[in-house]
Amino acid sequence: MASASRLGLVVLVAMASAASAQLSSTFYDTSCPNALATIKAGVTTAVQNEARMGASLVRLHFHDCFVDGCDGSVLLADTGSFIGEQGAAPNNNSIRGMNVIDNIKTQVEAVCKQTVSCADILAVAARDSVVALGGPTWTVLLGRRDSTTASKTNAENDLPPPTFDLQNLTTLFGNKQLSMTDMVALSGAHTIGQSQCRFFRNRIYNETNINTTFATSLRANCPQSGGDSSLAPLDTQTPNGFDNAYYTNLMSQKGLLHSDQVLFNGGGADNTVRSFASSAATFNSAFTTAMVNMGNIAPKTGTQGQIRLVCSKVNS
């Protein structure tokens, strides 16, 4: 009987843990009803000031979630005694938009003191950025809490480099419980934003599955040596518009990064690319589903972590 009681207790504890890990679209409805409107206003202003910022904010959410879950850890700045994710190879001199998130956090704090997490602000800002650039909307699930630490090593191991092939990408995304369809859809975020020459130089000079005219046009601004930080749009057709042009680019061998073009190169992702290229609605549906799935990666909830007062540092 005693062992049955203990078993019942274990089941109850397990159920409570599962419940605490559930995110909710209504999480702030009572505690901070103006949170989402405040975030949206901040994102809209930032994207109006610089269209590229929309892509940067989507990328911040992605880089946050893929390293130890969606917990705001990517926002923690290095200090004398702490080395976080921002100096990791995939992030160093590459991720941006932290100042926009800091500004939004300040505005949210003015509305609701220590209520809305930085991790949730990242998730909402990613959605609002896509909408601001003409893309689809979706319901963001909320209730994440912020990490009190970050790992440079995990960032270097868990974020996909632009040199990855299809198998490596599929494995990495699969490790996060994301399907190949999710992976191809999330890659479609490259319909906005820009990349630095250092990330696509090898492709435009040494790879053969690339449109010759496209490669030549890129070489003018990305020499074989130097110019590492020179920028090129990931989607040359509509660089500031969120649409499905990324996939038609891939079908014309105009993927900017190696990790873009491997999605359409005779492999298992080809049919998904074709599907998204032929139907914006199909892509939008898959993208919004994938963003929700990504936002569900290992969130801290309940009493885990904290609600940071400033996104760049742990509460003192």
For 143: left if phi > 0, alpha if psi spans -120 to 50, otherwise beta; the answer is left
Q: What domains can be seen in the chain, in order of their start residue?
A: 34-159 (1.10.520.10), 166-291 (1.10.420.10)
Determine if residue 156 is labeled as part of a ligand binding site: no
- Residues whose CB is less than 8 angstroms from the CB of residue 267 and which lie 6 or more positions away in sequence, other chains included: 166
| Token code pair at residue 267 | 């492999």
Q: Is the pLDDT of residue 196 over 50?
A: yes
Question: What mean pLDDT do residues 26-30 have?
Answer: 98
Determine if residue 235 is labeled as part of a ligand binding site: yes
What are the residue numbers of the active site?
Answer: 63
Q: Is the pLDDT of residue 59 over 60?
A: yes
Q: Taking the model in full, what pTM does it have?
A: 0.92
pLDDT of residue 17: 40
Residue 32 CB neighbour total at 10 angstroms: 18
Q: Is the pLDDT of residue 12 over 90?
A: no
Averaged pLDDT of the chain: 94
pLDDT of residue 22: 87
pLDDT bucket at 81, cuts 50 / 70 / 90: confident
Distance CA 183, CA 205 (A): 26
Distances in Å between the Cα of 304 and the Cα atoms of 67, 82, 145, 227 are 17, 20, 7, 44
* CB of 126 closer than 8 Å to CB of 61: yes
Question: What mean pLDDT do residues 212-239 have?
Answer: 96
pLDDT of residue 13: 43
- Residues whose CB is less than 8 angstroms from the CB of residue 313 and which lie 6 or more positions away in sequence, other chains included: 76, 77, 79
* Most distant pair of Cα atoms in the chain: their distance: 78
pLDDT bucket at 21, cuts 50 / 70 / 90: low
Determine if residue 160 is labeled as part of a ligand binding site: yes
Find the Cα–Cα–Cα–Cα dihedral 52, 53, 54, 56, rounded to 10°: 100
Determine if residue 165 is labeled as part of a ligand binding site: no
pLDDT digits (tens, 9 = 90+) for 291-303: 999 999 999 999 9
Q: Residue 231 pairs with which residues in a beta bridge?
A: 196
Q: Number of helices and strands (H, E) in the chain?
A: 14, 2
Among 79, 83, 84, 80, residue whose Cα is nearest residue 68? 84
